[in-house]
Amino acid sequence: MTSIAKWNQLIEEHELAYFRADVCLGSPESYTLEEKRAICEGMEASTAAVDAAMRSDFEAMPPAAQIAMLDLLGAPGTPEREGWERILLDFDAIPDAPPEA
């Protein structure tokens, strides 16, 4: 399980990454293309880190608790549930189709 201190660090880094993006959007001409790219990469990295920590904590739960957690987050078949399943079950890592030969 992810410690409280680690969660606080992840959340702070995530909020800071998105704050930087908000500031950039307010004055985009003040940033070079390289700085904008770095801001985007920071947002992607912080989101990936938070998702990985959530997934790790979810995977540490017993199967019955995982199902109960998903039920709390959204009813089966709803967009909310599908979004949480995508994050917690790492559905983005599963290809939609087999690779072409």
What tens digit of pLDDT does each residue of 69-88 get?
999 999 988 999 999 999 99
Using CB atoms within 10 A of its CB, is residue 88 exposed (0-12), middle (13-18) or buried (19+)? Answer: buried
Q: What is the pTM of this model?
A: 0.82
Environment class of residue 49 by beta-carbon count within 10 Å: exposed (0-12), middle (13-18) or buried (19+)? middle
Averaged pLDDT for residues 92-96? 60
Cα–Cα separations (whole angstroms), residue 29 to 23, 36, 40, 72, 81? 11, 10, 16, 44, 39
- Arithmetic mean of pLDDT, 39-52: 96
